[in-house]
Structure 1
Amino acid sequence: MSNIAYMRVSSSDLSIENQRQVLEKYNIYKYFIDDAVSGKSLNGRIGLDDLLSYVREGDFVYVVALDRLARNQTDQEVISAELSLKGVTVVPLDLFDMLGLNEVPTEGVLKMVWDVINVVTRYKAEQERKDMLRRQKEGIKRAKLAGKYKGTVPKYRQNSPIKKNRYIYSEVIRRLEKREPIKGIAECLGISRNTVKRIRDR
């Protein structure tokens, strides 16, 4: 079990040493650094890649702020999932400062805080997905009322401009009428069982 530190600054105008001065009092065993590397994505962050490969179960990863690890929800989910699977706990010092804590809490509290962060992250991501689907559904409904929504045109249909697709459609219908099994139809025509079912349901 070791205290590991991750430091990142996004431009060469900023000094990584400011973060090191904050972190060095926490008995850091090893530092991983991304100097002048943007946090907008996970691409090109060699220090972070090395950190994720190095850490082991029971390690604590110290950061001066959680946004040093990730700047967006999706990346935070990815990093959090990988660290949690390895049994690693992140120690975001900015959060404890915001809570008015002068010292880093005990090991048990640290793990509890990290678990709460992960739960909140997953909840926020799920709510964002639900909101997106709701807005999409409402948009489709408005478009239908305005007569502008046409929906997705099926690939396999009777009037498809592609001869092969017309053939597959008619063969599926013919074989279904003969009560051939869906799995056999799909394998024979080189399409998925779900495609057969969609043609059947239409």
Structure 2
Amino acid sequence: MSNVAYMRVSTKELSLENQRQVLDKYNIDKWFEDDGVSGKTTDGRDGLKKMLNFIREDDYIYVVSLDRLARNQVDQERISAEITLKGATVVPLDLMEMLGYKEVPDNGGLKFIWDMMQVVKRYTAEQERKDMLRRQEEGIKRAKQEGKYKGSLPKYRPDAKNKKDKNIYFEVIKRLKFNQPLLSIAAELGISRNTVKKIKMRANF
């Protein structure tokens, strides 16, 4: 078991020293950093990639705040999933403070908080899926009333039988929520810009 620290600042004008001073008291065994790199994407974040390759089961990753890992919700979910899969645990000091902890809880407490965060994320995602499905059903009903419904269902939709098609639908929705350009979404997911546009229109974005 190792205590790992990850630090990031978005511009060269900012210093990592403040984060280092905060994290230094947690008996850190291994340090990783990205100096002057934006958290909007994972591009160019060599420190993050090295940290994700290094971590093992029962390691603890200390960050001064969750947004040091990622500013983009999609990336944050992907990074969190990779960390969880490896059996490591993130220790977000800002969240600890928000929850009223004056000291970082013991290992069992840290794992409980991290696991609960993942449960909340999954619950939120499921509620969003249900909401998307409800909105689609309402859209079909409205289209039928207006005589515009043709009867064929789109390939990418929240209730698609094909798991890949369903996942692509929700990935598009996630990226739309964070105002990612349509062409960029299409390129990343391997679909056309027009398909992204249609999903956006059906979801009433």
TM-score w.r.t. length of structure 2: 0.68
Letter in structure 1 aligned against 2:42 = L
Cα shift readout 1:97-128 (whole Å, capped 9, x = no counterpart): 11222211111101111111111111112222
Letter in structure 2 aligned against 1:63 = V
Alpha-carbon distance in structure 1 between the residues aligned to 2:134 and 2:86 = 35
Deviation at 1:152, TM superposition (A): 4.3
Name the residue aligned to 1:113: 113
DSSP 3-state at the match of 2:22: helix
Superposition misfits of 4+ residues, deviation over 3 angstroms: 151-154
Q: 1:4 to 1:130 in 2, by over 3 A?
A: same
Percent identity for Structure 1 against Structure 2: 69
Name the residue aligned to 1:33: 33
Letter in structure 2 aligned against 1:123 = Y
Q: 1:135 to 1:118 in 2, by over 3 A?
A: same
* Residue-pair matches, total: 154
Root-mean-square deviation (Å): 1.9
Deviation at 1:26, TM superposition (A): 0.8
Name the residue aligned to 2:7: 7
Pairing of 1:167-186 with structure 2 (within 5 A): none
DSSP 3-state at the match of 1:13: coil
Name the residue aligned to 2:84: 84
Q: 1:129 to 1:36 in 2, by over 3 A?
A: farther
Alpha-carbon distance in structure 2 between the residues aligned to 1:153 and 1:124 = 26
Pairing of 1:64-83 with structure 2 (within 5 A): 64-83=64-83
Name the residue aligned to 2:93: 93
Deviation at 1:153, TM superposition (A): 8.6
Letter in structure 2 aligned against 1:50 = K
DSSP 3-state at the match of 1:101: coil
Q: 1:133 to 1:84 in 2, by over 3 A?
A: same
Deviation at 1:89, TM superposition (A): 0.9
Letter in structure 2 aligned against 1:51 = M
Alpha-carbon distance in structure 2 between the residues aligned to 1:73 and 1:33 = 20
Deviation at 1:151, TM superposition (A): 4.8
Q: Is the CA contact 1:65–1:93 (under 8 Å) kept in the aligned structure 2? A: yes
Deviation at 1:140, TM superposition (A): 2.4
Alpha-carbon distance in structure 1 between the residues aligned to 2:138 and 2:108 = 45
Alpha-carbon distance in structure 1 between the residues aligned to 2:48 and 2:11 = 16
DSSP 3-state at the match of 1:140: helix
Cα shift readout 1:70-89 (whole Å, capped 9, x = no counterpart): 22433222112211121101
Alpha-carbon distance in structure 2 between the residues aligned to 1:5 and 1:153 = 48
Q: 1:121 to 1:153 in 2, by over 3 A?
A: closer
Name the residue aligned to 1:172: none
Deviation at 1:24, TM superposition (A): 0.9
Letter in structure 1 aligned against 2:150 = K
- More divergent stretch after superposition (46-55 vs 126-135): 126-135
Q: Which runs of 5+ in 1 are unaligned?
A: 155-202
Deviation at 1:67, TM superposition (A): 1.6
- If you compute each CA radius of gyration, which structure gives the higher value, 1 or 2? 1
Alpha-carbon distance in structure 2 between the residues aligned to 1:11 and 1:152 = 50
Q: Is the CA contact 1:77–1:122 (under 8 Å) kept in the aligned structure 2? A: no
Q: Which runs of 5+ in 2 are unaligned?
A: 155-205
